[in-house]
């Protein structure tokens, strides 16, 4: 597995580094123009490229290679290999096209290959397609399979957007990043630096929820599916992430997915329709002062109908969940007289989450089918950035599951870039 990681790292670097001796003016004429790092609301840096380009067509994207070494055997009962992989190779290619200056289409194809410590492999593809109607700075419309604005990483999931090799556990197990849904979004700036968004999308697929990962397996990956349940999402965000920023976001919708219980007389809900509603709230903040960056995020989730969901496949789901993390990063290179684009922030992050903060009274005392993540994760590490678009990452995580399940510490290494 180490050999796979090193070969993947070499191929990624060879793909990124331009050929020596090429004329810079020739490079500028190519379709891979430089990023401006101006984000369109709801998108990260690379996916925003078409919105600031003077061209009708752009290509952008990201790549990352990660290696995770577990200090013990990792539990794989979740069935979601992304939560216990050892090697990851992920690329995303964005194609942007301007029909007019007011009508812009953006599509992404993301490819991910992962292997785990049990020497199993998995290849996944994800896609995204949206059309934005840019009416004014105050009001715009987005239609398609778009990333939800809950939390931070889900709309900033390129490798330079978060410090650890993996996305924070709070934004994988409570906020199920990466999370896209089919729907419509209205967004803009109500005031200078005050971004808002309000959307209507597919609701979660509650019958697919699992105990240890809560709503993660209920995401809808098929953008062509006719919605059988609906949900609202909203976001308010004020400020600039390079200075001071605060944000609030929320989600509420039907998680029943039109499910009807079979007429099995041993089931107390036989012949009835599932009635399950899901809500989520999140708040985040960023503060930069000199070489120091402070970040914090809190999220809270609610789920009704967990006593009914138990009778579908025996999963005991949290009626309430929560998660938060606090992070500090400090760039040490200025103290060594470094100049140029290089940055070397050291960081520490404390995470706490619980997928079962509260359990429905009818499910208390039942242990079969109960897989809990009552996690504490402390991460320390560094990011080496020779330029803003490239990052080499390393971190160690001290992990503990207060629910009693084994949760080994892990060492992580990664490299990523955007273009």
Is the pLDDT at 23 greater than 70? The verdict is no
Query: For 133, left (φ over 0), alpha (ψ -120 to 50), or beta?
Result: beta
**Rounded distance between C-alpha atoms, residue 154 and residue 248, angstroms:** 14
Segment 51-74 mean pLDDT? 95
pLDDT digits (tens, 9 = 90+) for 75-94: 787 778 888 999 999 999 99
**Rounded distance between C-alpha atoms, residue 158 and residue 155, angstroms:** 9
37-69 in b/e form (b: 16+ CB < 10 A) is: bebbbbbbbbbbbbbebeeeebbbbbbbbbbbb
What per-residue confidence (pLDDT) applies to 82?
87
pLDDT digits (tens, 9 = 90+) for 296-354: 999 999 999 999 999 999 999 999 999 999 999 999 999 998 778 899 999 999 999 99
Is the pLDDT at 28 greater than 60? The verdict is no
pLDDT digits (tens, 9 = 90+) for 185-216: 999 999 999 999 999 999 999 999 999 999 99
Is the pLDDT at 375 greater than 60? The verdict is yes
166-199 in b/e form (b: 16+ CB < 10 A) is: bbbbbbbbbbbbbbbbbbebebbbeeeeebbbeb
Segment 15-25 mean pLDDT? 40
Q: Which of 25-29, 177-181, 348-352 has the lowest mean pLDDT?
A: 25-29
Confidence of residue 227 (pLDDT cuts 50, 70, 90): confident
Strand partners, 145: 182
Is the pLDDT at 224 greater than 90? The verdict is no
> pTM score, two decimals?
0.90
Is the pLDDT at 5 greater than 50? The verdict is no
pLDDT digits (tens, 9 = 90+) for 240-294: 999 999 999 999 999 999 999 988 778 899 999 999 999 999 999 999 999 999 9
Segment 229-244 mean pLDDT? 96
Q: Which of 52-66, 217-231, 272-286 has the lowest mean pLDDT?
A: 217-231
Confidence of residue 6 (pLDDT cuts 50, 70, 90): very low
Q: Both tokens of residue 16?
A: 């990124």
Q: Which of 9-18, 140-149, 163-172 has the lowest mean pLDDT?
A: 9-18
DSSP string, 133-202: EE--SS-EEEEEEEE--SSSGGGS-SGGGSSSSSPPTIIIIIS-SS-EEEEEEEEEEEETTEEEEEEEEE
Q: Both tokens of residue 124?
A: 């996944």
362-375 in b/e form (b: 16+ CB < 10 A) is: ebeeeeeebbbbbb
DSSP string, 148-163: --SSSGGGS-SGGGSS
Query: What's the angle, vertex CA 60, arms to CA 58 and CA 65, rounded to 5?
Result: 165
| Helices and strands (H and E) in the chain: how many | 4, 16
pLDDT digits (tens, 9 = 90+) for 114-138: 998 777 899 999 889 999 999 999 9
What per-residue confidence (pLDDT) applies to 30?
57
Is the pLDDT at 32 greater than 80? The verdict is no
Give the list of residues 6+ apart from residue 123 with CB closer than 8 angstroms, or none: 111, 112, 113
**Does residue 178 have a cis peptide bond before it, meaning omega lies within 30 degrees of 0?**
yes
**Rounded distance between C-alpha atoms, residue 238 and residue 243, angstroms:** 11
What per-residue confidence (pLDDT) applies to 31?
54
Instruction: Return the SS3 of 16.
Output: helix
What per-residue confidence (pLDDT) applies to 77?
76
**Rounded distance between C-alpha atoms, residue 406 and residue 352, angstroms:** 16
More confidently predicted of 369 and 284: 284
Share of the chain above pLDDT 90, in %: 79
Give the list of residues 6+ apart from residue 32 with CB closer than 8 angstroms, or none: 59, 60, 419
> What does each C-alpha distance from 265 to 262, 272, 310, 321 come to in angstroms?
9, 12, 16, 32
């Amino acid at each position: 597995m180490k050999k796979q990681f090193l070969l993947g790292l070499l191929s990624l670097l060879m793909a990124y580094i331009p050929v020596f001796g090429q004329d810079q003016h020739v490079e500028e004429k190519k379709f891979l123009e430089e990023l401006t790092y101006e984000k369109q609301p709801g998108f990260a840096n690379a996916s925003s490229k078409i919105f600031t380009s003077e061209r009708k067509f752009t290509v952008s994207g990201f790549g990352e290679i990660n290696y995770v070494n577990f200090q013990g055997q990792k539990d794989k009962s979740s069935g979601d290999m992304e939560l216990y992989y050892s090697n990851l190779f992920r690329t995303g290619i964005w194609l942007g096209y301007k029909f007019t200056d007011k009508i812009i289409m953006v599509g992404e194809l993301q490819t991910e290959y992962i292997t785990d410590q049990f020497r199993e492999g998995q290849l996944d593809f994800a896609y995204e397609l949206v059309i934005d109607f840019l009416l004014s700075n105050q009001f715009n419309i987005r239609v398609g399979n778009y990333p939800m604005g809950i939390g931070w990483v889900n709309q900033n999931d390129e490798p330079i957007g978060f410090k650890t090799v993996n996305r924070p556990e709070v934004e994988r197990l409570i906020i199920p990043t990466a999370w896209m849904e089919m729907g419509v979004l209205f967004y803009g700036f109500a005031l200078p630096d005050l971004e808002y968004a309000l959307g209507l999308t597919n609701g979660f697929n509650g019958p697919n929820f699992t105990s240890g990962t809560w709503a993660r397996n209920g995401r809808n990956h098929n953008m062509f599916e006719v919605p059988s349940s609906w949900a609202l999402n909203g976001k308010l965000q004020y400020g600039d992430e390079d200075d001071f920023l605060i944000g609030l976001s929320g989600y509420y919708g039907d998680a029943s997915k039109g499910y009807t219980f079979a007429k099995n007389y041993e089931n107390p809900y036989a012949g009835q329709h599932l009635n399950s509603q899901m809500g989520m709230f999140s708040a985040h903040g960023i503060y930069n002062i000199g070489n120091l960056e402070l970040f914090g995020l809190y999220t809270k989730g609610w789920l009704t109908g967990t006593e009914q969901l138990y009778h579908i496949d025996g999963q005991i789901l949290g009626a309430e969940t929560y998660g938060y993390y606090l992070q500090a990063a400090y760039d040490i290179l200025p103290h060594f007289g470094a100049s140029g684009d290089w940055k070397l922030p050291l960081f520490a992050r404390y995470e706490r989450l619980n997928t079962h903060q509260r359990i429905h009274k009818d499910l208390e005392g039942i242990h079969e089918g109960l897989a809990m993540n009552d996690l504490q994760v402390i991460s320390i590490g560094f990011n080496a950035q020779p330029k803003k678009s490239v990052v080499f990452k390393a971190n160690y995580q001290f992990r503990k599951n207060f629910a009693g399940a084994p949760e080994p510490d892990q060492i992580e290494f990664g490299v990523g870039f955007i273009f």
